[in-house]
Structure 1
Amino acid sequence: MTPEQRRAFDEWFTAHVADSEDRAGARRVDAEATPAPQVSF
Structure 2
Amino acid sequence: MAVDLEPLERAIARLREGLARHRAAPEDEQLRDGLIQRFE
Compare relative contact order (CA 8 Å, sep 6+) and give the higher one, 1 or 2: 2
- TM-score interval (norm. to shorter): 0.5 to 0.7
Which ranges of 4 or more aligned residues in structure 1 deviate by more than 3 Å?
Answer: none
> Which sections of structure 1, spanning at least 5 residues, go unmatched?
35-41
Aligned-residue CA RMSD (Å): 1.7
Give the share of equivalent positions with the same residue, in percent.
19
Give the number of equivalent residue pairs: 27
- TM-score when scaled to structure 2? 0.54
> Which sections of structure 2, spanning at least 5 residues, go unmatched?
28-40
